[in-house]
Chain A
């Protein structure tokens, strides 16, 4: 997939109400090579659960791509760590 194709693919995945904003932002941007990708990063970052894990501090600043906390696929809640039962820590 070329980067242009990637842009189109991203726009397809971004919700309709955000597409107009992203297009305007791209057209009006100052840099020579701003792309859909740079503005859509916040929409798609974090894989499976991007839209559910909003991070207002990042989303409000489109200049920094977000760092979201993804989960393991679509299987519901999954712990982020495990602890061994067979150690003598909690007696």
Chain B
């Protein structure tokens, strides 16, 4: 007899297709956290389903027809836990967080819970909704970049109207609308971007184009289309997509973080083509003042245009960024932005100001943050020798006899 929904605390729901390389390690990382694992296979030929079954998962087949939401919802339909964690085979649960997470689930009155999520190795993390109530009203939407948050928010509003649950929000996440949100100390690390990106881009490209045919003005999808095209070597197509993303973002008048990322890419392209991105950068920062990549570009430009003190302040700010607070802002950055890149920039600013000892210290910090980059060592040595030269000249000057007056 099939156990009813709610018979266990937490189910994990996965969809897989040819994930044999990743699946075992993912399932191992779920051990001790979830009470059951549901795996929906969408057409594997590499034995993924067998791996899942041998690990104790409940496995079902789902015919793939280009719709991620349909596949995910098929998995949700089979879950029996009071809560559902959706996770992908190329993700890992960080060890040591299971007990604390389960304790939250036992007492939380939230509908959806945010986990800590590192989207790629070497990047900072953000908060993302991966845990939610097992409720038939909570289902995924959209064929690609499927989303479950709108359903949770609708359910929250409905409950609020009915008086069952009060409205709530999590400041800084954009999560509003009546659903009750909470957080769990669960950390997921996504490895999927660490290996074969081109195949992922080839898979995503037609889905993104299909999404844009339906939602022409969606700046986040334009940005992602640009990423996919760039990843497949289509630089011109990528630039066109990012220009569309920037236009869509401006037209909507909002400040979606990925609208800012399209502008970041356009600034980068402008620089690589030897153009001055000044106006573009200024306009971008007016709309996205918290985008740290734009801040970094601005600092470089200040340095290039003879304002090293202002540049130094911006680089120092990047190096001192509170990554915990940053997680609430909706973007995960290449972590080097706050480490080696920030110290590299601070070193150049100190160098420009003639403070060679400080420059050497910044370059040493860049080296420590990213060992193996010869450029940082070169600059550290250069700054150190300049500092020694200055000291030598100062000492020489001090030993020159002073001409006595009269």
Q: B-contacting residues of A (Cβ < 8 Å)?
A: 3, 6, 9-10, 13, 31-35, 37-38, 40-41, 44-47, 50, 52-58, 63-70, 72, 75-91
The 6 closest A-B pairs by CB, nearest first: A38-B382, A57-B304, A45-B375, A77-B230, A82-B119, A84-B128
- Secondary structure at the A interface, as helix, strand, loop or mixed, is loop
| In the bound complex, CA of A29 to CA of B174 (Å) | 56
- Taking each of B257, B303, B379, which has the highest tally of chain A beta carbons within 10 Å of its own beta carbon? B379
In the assembly, what is the distance between CA of A64 and CA of B354, in Å? 10
Interface size range of chain B in the complex: 35 or more
Tell me the total A-B contact number using a CB cutoff of 8 A: 184
Q: Are A89's CB and B256's CB within 8 A? A: yes
> In whole angstroms, what is the CA distance A10 to B334 when docked?
28
Return chain A residues, CB-CB under 8 Å to B347. Answer: 65
Q: Given A67-B303, A80-B293, does the pair A88, B153 have CB atoms closer than 8 Å?
A: yes
Q: Does B122 contact A (CB under 8 A)?
A: yes
Of A35, A64, A77, A81, chain B has the most CB atoms within 10 Å of the CB of: A81
* Pair A56/B330 contact, Cβ less than 8 Å: no
Does B268 sit at the interface, judged by CB under 8 A? Answer: yes
Do the beta carbons of A34 and B375 come within 8 Å of each other?
no
- List residues of chain B with CB under 8 Å of any chain A CB: 117, 119-120, 122-123, 126-130, 145-150, 153, 173-177, 193, 197-198, 218-220, 227, 230-231, 233, 238, 256-258, 261, 264, 268, 271-272, 274, 293, 300, 303-305, 330-334, 336-337, 341, 344-345, 347-348, 351-352, 370, 373-379, 381-383, 385-386, 388-389, 392-393
State whether B381 touches A89 (Cβ < 8 A): no
Query: Measured between C-beta atoms, what is the minimum distance from A78 to chain B in Å?
Result: 8
From known contacts A6-B381, A44-B378, A67-B345, infer whether A80 and B337 are also in contact, taking CB-CB under 8 Å.
Answer: yes
Q: Evaluate contact between B293 and A81: CB separation under 8 angstroms.
A: yes
- Which A-chain residue is minimally distant from B370 (CB atoms)? A47
Partner of A83, one of B331, B344, B374: B331
Contact pick for B388, options A33, A64, A88, CB 8 Å = A33
Contact status of A81 and B272, CB under 8 A, knowing A33-B389, A57-B305, A64-B303: no
A-B contacts besides A46-B375, A53-B272, 20 pairs, CB < 8 Å: A33-B386, A37-B379, A37-B381, A41-B379, A44-B374, A45-B375, A47-B373, A64-B303, A65-B379, A67-B341, A67-B344, A70-B336, A77-B233, A78-B334, A79-B261, A80-B264, A80-B333, A83-B257, A84-B128, A85-B146
Least CB distance from B228 to A in Å reads 10
How far in angstroms is the closest Cβ of chain A from B199? 12
Assess the A88–B305 pair: CB atoms within 8 A: no
Distance from A32 Cβ to chain B, minimum over Cβ atoms (Å): 5
* B173 neighbours in A (Cβ, 8 Å): 87
CA distance A38 to B386 in the complex (A): 9
- Contact at B303–A54, with CB atoms within 8 Å? no
Distance of A41 Cα from B127 Cα, bound (Å): 39
A67-B303, A76-B231, A77-B231 are known contacts. Are A87 and B375 too (CB-CB below 8 A)?
no
Q: A56-B274, A69-B268 are in contact. Are A88 and B261 (CB under 8 A)?
A: no
CB distance from B327 to the nearest CB of A (A): 10
Bound Cα distance A87, B233 (Å): 30
Question: Which single residue of chain A is at the shortest CB-CB distance from B304?
Answer: A57
